Each structure stands twice: as structure tokens, then as C-alpha cells.
Chains A and B, each alone.
Chain A
Amino acid sequence: MTGPQEAAARPSGEPLIELRRVNKHYGALHVLQDIDLTVGRGEVVVVIGPSGSGKSTLCRAINRLEAVESGDILIEGQPLPAEGKGLAKLRAEVGMVFQSFNLFAHRTVLQNVTLAQVKVRKRGKAEAEAKGRALLERVGLASQADKYPAQLSGGQQQRVAIARALAMDPKALLFDEPTSALDPEMINEVLEVMRSLAAEGMTMVVVTHEMGFARSAANRVVFMADGRIVEDRVPEEFFADPRSERARDFLSKILKH
């Protein structure tokens, strides 16, 4: 029994993100195959799997940075609009943190965390700056507010990117390999921020290779291989006793050293 419909503990029964029979191809490659996934409010779901398994595509499909070919994606029960203002509005509710940070290179750190507040949320400048500074304080970067992204380390940039996403008061946050581009000594400062968000009850979908984070912060671990969800279980069970051959193989490779 290695189906995706495993029972798993959820902090709340109310689904926030739902994917139903989602499919996508890149040319001949079937990168998402009949994906069913439900993320409850307040839940932290960690997606792991070998590279090319479709986990990043899955993450990016949730706010439609990647269009899917068939299936439904629902946020709070509402289907994701295809394009235009409706989609933009929905994206503002679902924050995203990227592997390569993607801070706006021509704007200061403070402007990075205020721009969308002003332009999308239509907040006043003073209000946006107060909120921006508070969030920079929270991620430990208040003193860097007037610098440009290129002047910060990778870990600092990623913490600014998290603050930028939080500034929109999102209902959920998507993390697409947030620590994969970081030097080892900077990974922890980013994971610390993510852990504290998880502890506060933020709904999170996290694609990562950080098994320590998966064990300590996740409510569920979703294991993907070849475009399918192979296992979807609580982390203790998954790491102690992976049911599928694919997962056993994957874990033996990454946990050996």
C-alpha cells in the first residue's frame, strides 16, 4: 500500500489548498501525474523527492507560476483563475519564497518589502514602511533596510524574501527549495525563521532537501518520484519506516553520510 491517500494528522480539518487530479507535461515528460493533495489550514507540508520528480513544479503550480493542463487547484475552495486580475489577487494571498531569492535588484531592502504592500494591497507609504520594518526586525535584518539586495549575503537575502512575502499577510506560504542556493553556514538562519513561522501556525508547503526541517517542523511529508506522490505521511512514520522502494532508496542515499 503505497498510495497517496494515507491518513495523516492535521492541525485543522479545513482545507486551504486542494489539488485534484492535476496533470502537466513538459514535452514528452509527464512531470505531474494525477496529483491529489490537500493542505489544511495551519498545516506544514514538506515535499521531498529526487531531482526531476516534479516537486518544484508542484509548488509553482499552486500559485500558477506554472500552468497545469488538467485537474483543479483550489484555494479556500475557490478554483484558481486562469489569468488576469483574479489570478493576481489570489497570488497576493499565497506568498512564495524562491530558491534564488529573487529580491528586486533595483530596490532597497525596505522597498522590497513595501512595494507590493503599496501597489497591490494599496496601503499608505507610512503604514507599509512600519510593517516592513517590523518584519525586517523579525527576521533580524532591521539594520540592513537601506541596503540593496546585492550587498547582502544569501542567507540575509532569503530572510528578506520571507519578510517580503509575509508583508502581504498571506494565508499560506510556498517555499521552493529555499535553502538550496545557500552556503551551509547560512542554511540555519533561514530554517530558524521558517521554524518559527511553522510554530505560529502559518500554512506552509515546503519543497526542500533539509530532512532535519522535515522531521522537526512538518505535519506531513509528501514524497514524490517521477511526477507522482508516492507517500504522504507524518514525518516520524515516513523516516522510520518508508513503505515504498523508491522512498527507501532515496532516504538511504541522502541519510548515509
Chain B
Amino acid sequence: MNVLTDNWSTYWHGFLGTLWLTLVSAALALVLGVVIAGFRVSPVKPLRAFGTGWVTVLRNTPLTLLFFIVVLGLPRFSITLPFFTFAVLALGCYTSAFVCEALRSGVNTVPAGQGEAARSLGMTFGQTLSLVVMPQAYRAVIAPLGSVMIALAKNTAIAGSFSVVELLGTYRTINELGYSIIWTFVWIAVGYLILTLAISALFNVLERRVAVSR
């Protein structure tokens, strides 16, 4: 227990780092994911191709490699950003590919006739998607999106190796002070659990609310 109490400040900063990294990356991933999913179901071929390319590249690249590309690659084009921003870019773009695919599978659960009816009434592609298709797709998307967000929360651990303060990285500091490595990791795991269980609870609430509004 004293591992936690003695190092409370270290843990707390690490936890806040992970929380903040998760929230900002999730926001970026959701926005990008919706846009790319829109591209992938749009009638415009270049947009579809771009969406497919985006998903294929990002989903099939190991996240650590993506971090290296962002952290070492972008400065070569004289783009120098704080490490936190680099980490958000890597995590957000990576996760957006998974968000996009979850949304797209949701779109596919909506019968084609719904979109046809909307178009036959003169709605544009954007109106059809936002007023008719997405509101119905969203029900099917909540559960898989929850999994994607939990994966994102855990993936933030990689940022610790790239000079970002986050929860997993705290073990180095605490270990150097000579505390039990096992208990150090137990408390780190508890920190992640708090975060991921909170995400699960949030998505459970969303799921229940959608079920009621039907």
C-alpha cells in the first residue's frame, strides 16, 4: 500500500497524463473517423479511394512504428511540435481508422431503402447521411466504438516511451526509488482499470439510452 501513498503525486500525474492523452486523442479519432467514414460511403470516387487508403495504411501499421514516423519523420519537414501533440496525432490518426470501420459497419446495418427514400425526396448526400443514415447506424456502433476507445486508452502507454508523461512510464521513477516492482505495476494496472471501466460504464449508459429512444 505504501507504494501508492509514498508515490501518490507521481501516480496522479501519470494518471492525469494518460487521461488527458486519451481524451484528446479520442476527440481527434472521432472527428477524423466520422469524416473518413463519410468519405468511404460517399458517391465521389477520389474520396472513397482516399478513405480506403487512410484506413488501410493506418490500421495495418504497428502503433509504435507510427509513433516513430511522427516523432522522427515530421521534424524532417521542419514540423516540430511538443511530444504530447505528436502522441495525440499518432494515436488519433491510428484510432480514427478503427472508428471509421466501426461506423461503416453501422452504416451497413441501415437498409439501403432508407437512403434511397431520403435521396428520392431530394436530400443531398450530406443530408441523407446526417439526417437518416447515421442516426440509425449509431445504435449498432456504440458497442464496437466502446471497444475501440478502451483500446485507445491502453495504447496511450506507448507514448511513455516518447517522453510523454503517462501512467505506465511512472514505473521507471518508482522503480529507481527501490519500491517493489510487483506492487508498482499493480497500482499502475488499477489506474488503467479505473479509466477503462469508466469508458465501459459510459458506453453502457449510451447503449441503454439508445435502446429507450426507440
> Taking A83-B43, A119-B127 as contacts, is the C-beta distance between A102 and B121 under 8 angstroms?
no
Q: B122 in the interface, Cβ–Cβ < 8 Å? A: yes
Contacts of B127 in A (CB 8 A): 119-120
> Taking A83-B43, A106-B135 as contacts, is the C-beta distance between A116 and B116 under 8 angstroms?
no
Contacts of B135 in A (CB 8 A): 106
Residue of A nearest to B121 (CB): A116
Contacts of A84 in B (CB 8 A): 124
Within 8 A of A (CB), among B109-158: 111, 113-114, 116-124, 127, 131-132, 135-136
A65's contact among B43, B119, B132, B214, by CB below 8 Å, is which?
B119
Mask of B38-56 contacts with A, CB within 8 angstroms, 1/0: 0000010000000000000
> Taking A115-B131, A119-B131 as contacts, is the C-beta distance between A91 and B117 under 8 angstroms?
no
A98-B123 in contact (CB<8A): no
Q: A242 in the interface, Cβ–Cβ < 8 Å? A: no
Per the bound structure, the CA–CA distance linking A83 and B125 in Å amounts to: 10
A252 to chain B, nearest CB (A): 33
Q: A100 in the interface, Cβ–Cβ < 8 Å? A: yes
A89-B122 in contact (CB<8A): yes
Residue of B nearest to A100 (CB): B113
> Taking A104-B132, A120-B127 as contacts, is the C-beta distance between A168 and B117 under 8 angstroms?
no
B116's contact among A93, A102, A165, by CB below 8 Å, is which?
A102
Q: A110 in the interface, Cβ–Cβ < 8 Å? A: no
A103-B131 in contact (CB<8A): no
Per the bound structure, the CA–CA distance linking A161 and B117 in Å amounts to: 9
Residue of A nearest to B138 (CB): A106
Q: A56 in the interface, Cβ–Cβ < 8 Å? A: no
Contacts of A95 in B (CB 8 A): 120-121
A164-B121 in contact (CB<8A): yes
Per the bound structure, the CA–CA distance linking A110 and B128 in Å amounts to: 18
Contacts of B131 in A (CB 8 A): 115, 119
B116-A92 in contact (CB<8A): no
Contacts of B123 in A (CB 8 A): 88, 116, 119-120
> Taking A102-B114, A105-B136, A106-B135 as contacts, is the C-beta distance between A65 and B120 under 8 angstroms?
yes
Per the bound structure, the CA–CA distance linking A83 and B124 in Å amounts to: 10
B122-A65 in contact (CB<8A): no
Contacts of A102 in B (CB 8 A): 111, 113-114, 116-117
A103's contact among B43, B117, B119, by CB below 8 Å, is which?
B117
> Taking A98-B113, A106-B135, A119-B127 as contacts, is the C-beta distance between A92 and B121 under 8 angstroms?
yes
Q: A158 in the interface, Cβ–Cβ < 8 Å? A: no
Q: A85 in the interface, Cβ–Cβ < 8 Å? A: yes
A223 to chain B, nearest CB (A): 25
Contacts of A115 in B (CB 8 A): 121, 131
Q: Among B117, B127, B136, which residue has the most Cβ atoms of chain A within 10 A?
A: B117
Q: A35 in the interface, Cβ–Cβ < 8 Å? A: no
Within 8 A of A (CB), among B81-134: 111, 113-114, 116-124, 127, 131-132
Q: A63 in the interface, Cβ–Cβ < 8 Å? A: yes
Mask of A142-168 contacts with B, CB within 8 angstroms, 1/0: 000000000000000000010011001
A168's contact among B119, B122, B136, B214, by CB below 8 Å, is which?
B122
Contacts of A92 in B (CB 8 A): 121-122
Q: A96 in the interface, Cβ–Cβ < 8 Å? A: yes
Mask of B53-80 contacts with A, CB within 8 angstroms, 1/0: 0000000000000000000000000000
Could you give 20 example pairs across A and B, Cβ below 8 Å?
A: A65-B116, A85-B124, A88-B122, A88-B124, A89-B122, A91-B119, A91-B120, A96-B117, A98-B113, A102-B113, A104-B118, A104-B132, A105-B114, A106-B136, A116-B118, A119-B123, A120-B127, A161-B117, A165-B121, A168-B122
Closest CB pairs A-B (n = 3): A92-B122, A102-B117, A116-B121
